[in-house]
Amino acid sequence: MTGATTSAGTAHQDRVERLRERFAALPPDSPIRLAKRTSNLFRDRSGAGTIDVADFTHVLSVDPEARTADVEGMVTYEQLVDATLPHGLMPLVVPQLKTITLGGAVTGLGIESSSFRNGMPHESVLELEVLTGDGQVVVARPDNEHRDLFHGFPNSYGTLGYALRLTIELEPVRPYVHVRHLRHRDAAGYFAELAEVCETRTHGGKPVDFVDGTVFGPDELYLTLGTFTDEAPYTSDYTWLDIYYRSIQGRTDDYLTVRDYLWRWDTDWFWCSAALGVQNRFVRRVLGRKRLRSDVYWKVVALERKLGVSARIDRWRGLPERETVVQDIEVPIDQAAAFLDFFHREIPINPVWVCPVRLRDKTQWPLYVMDPDSLYVNFGFWSSVPLDPGEPADTHNRLIEKTVTEMRGRKSLYSASFHEEDEFWSLYNGPAYRDLKTRYDPGARLLDLYDKCVRGR
C-alpha cells in the first residue's frame, strides 16, 4: 500500500474486509446507498443509506520526503490539514469548508484559490482504492488496468463506486500568507488583471500563490492575492468575532497564519451565516468559536429545509415565494465579464465568489471536460431570489444553466440541476459514463448520475 505504515495499512485492510462482508450480505438486487452522517450537498438525497463507510476516517500516513499522504475516503480536509501542516505541507487544493471529505472532493470536484496553478483536488491524486457497484474493491491508477475508472471517477458523485483510500500529492507551505485586496470598479479591468496575475503568477514584483475574488456589486469587485511568507508583522483572527469577507472591503493588506488562511471562509460559510443571524458580535460571543463553523450552519439549514418555517412565515407576511439559487459554475475567462453582467441583470444576489481554475497538466477528465489551454473562472453564489407571480420554481436556475452552456461553461453538480436528460448527457459525456457504468456497476445497484443529480432520487 503506497505510503501507509504497516499497522495503519493492516487496520485499513481489516476495515475493507468488513465492508466487503457487509456488502456481500445485502440482497443481490437491492440498491446501494451511502450512509453518510454529514453532507455538503445542496440537493435532496432520498433513500436511506445501506453501506456505512463511517469507519474510513483515518489519515494512514504522511510522507514528508515524497510529499504524499495516504488517507481514507471519509477523512475531512480539516483532519488532513491538521496532519500535514506539522510537516510543513498541505494538499495542493484545499476546498473551503472543513468537513468536505477527500473522497467527496474527488468524486464531486472542488476548487480553491490555488486552483489557478493546481487545478482541482482530483488532479493531485496518485492512486484510488474504490468499492465499485458490483462489490469489488479495485485500485485505480492513471497507468493500470483501471485507468478509465481513475479518470472517470471525478464528477461521478458516487455512482460508479466509493473511494475507500486515496494517495495524494502535497506541497510545501510557509508559516504565513500575506493577503492583498485589490479593488476594481468595472468587470473588464478586473478580469484582465486576474488573467495577467494567473499567467505570470506575480503582482507588483511579488510572487502570487493564491488567487480568488469577491464581487459586492457591479462597481465593487475585489481581487484577493495571497503570498506565502516566513514572517508577518501581525496576524488577523477571523475565527470568532471578526468576519473575513467584511475585511476585504476595509483592508488593502492583511496577514494570516497558513491554517487560518485555508479556513478563512469556513467560519461564516463565506457570508451565508448572515442569513442565520450570527454575524452580530453579541451572538458570536455567546456561540463561541466552536459553533462558528460551516457544518453547524449546514445542520441548521437542513432542519429549516425539512420544516419549511421561513417559507411559512413569508407566506403569512404576504411576501413572494423564493427560489433557492445555490450554484458554482465555470466559464472561460473570455466570457467572465459577460457572465457577471448577465448575473447582475438577472439574478439579484450579492456577494459573488470568484475563483480562477486551469487544468494542472492538461489531462482530460471525461465526465467534466474542460479546454486544457484555457483559464476558467468559477462563480459561486448561494442565496435565494423572489419569484414573480406565476413564475416556475426553477426559473432562475434554468436561466443560469442555459447561459453557462451558451458561454461554453460547466456547472458543478453538488446542487440542484435542471437539465433535460439529452442535454445533460451531452454536457457530461454520456457515452464515456455508460461504458464505465457497464463495467463497474453492471447490476445498476448504484444510482445513475442523472437520477442522482437531476431527478434527486
Q: Range of 140's domain?
A: 6-173
Segments of the chain with pLDDT less than 70: 1-5, 35-50, 309, 311, 313-314, 457
Contact assessment for residue 83 and residue 62, using Cβ atoms and an 8 Å cutoff? yes
- What is the pLDDT at residue 413? 94
**Residue 394: Cβ-neighbour burial (10 angstroms; 0-12, 13-18, 19+):** middle
Provide the 8-state DSSP code for 159: S
Beta bridge partner(s), residue 214: 222, 353
Task: In whole angstroms, give the CA distance from residue 127 to residue 104.
Answer: 15
Task: In whole angstroms, give the CA distance from residue 108 to residue 413.
Answer: 7
Element (H, E) at 405: helix 395-406
Kind of pairing between the strands at 161-172 and 68-72:
antiparallel
Beta bridge partner(s), residue 167: 70, 127
As a dihedral over the C-alpha atoms of residue 15, residue 17, residue 18, residue 22, rounded to 10 degrees, the angle is 130
Closest to 227 measured CA to CA, from 202, 251, 248, 252: 202
Closest to 374 measured CA to CA, from 362, 392, 391: 362
Q: Is residue 63 part of a domain?
A: yes
pLDDT digits (tens, 9 = 90+) for 425-452: 999 999 999 999 999 999 999 999 999 9
Q: Is residue 138 part of a domain?
A: yes
Kind of pairing between the strands at 51-52 and 34-35:
parallel
Number of domains in the chain: 1
Report the CATH number that the domain containing residue 52 is assigned in CATH: 3.30.465.10
Among all chains, which residue has been given the C-alpha cell 470568532?
240
Q: Is residue 432 part of a domain?
A: no
- What is the pLDDT at residue 161? 95
Q: Is 310 left (phi over 0), alpha (psi -120 to 50) or beta?
A: alpha
pLDDT digits (tens, 9 = 90+) for 85-109: 999 999 999 999 999 999 999 999 9
Q: Is residue 53 part of a domain?
A: yes
φ/ψ of 449, rounded to 5, equals -60, -40
- What is the pLDDT at residue 396? 97
Task: In whole angstroms, give the CA distance from residue 361 to residue 321.
Answer: 45
**pLDDT over 70 percentage in the chain:** 94
Q: Is residue 428 part of a domain?
A: no
Q: What is the pTM of this model?
A: 0.93
Beta bridge partner(s), residue 273: none
E strand intervals along 161-294: 161-172, 176-184, 202-203, 206-207, 210-217, 220-229, 253-257
Closest to 70 measured CA to CA, from 119, 139, 134, 133: 139
- What is the pLDDT at residue 298? 86
Number of residues that this document lists for the chain: 457
Q: Is residue 144 part of a domain?
A: yes
- What is the pLDDT at residue 201? 98
Q: Is residue 447 part of a domain?
A: no
DSSP-based helix, strand, coil % in the chain, nearest 5: 35, 25, 40
Q: Is residue 261 part of a domain?
A: no
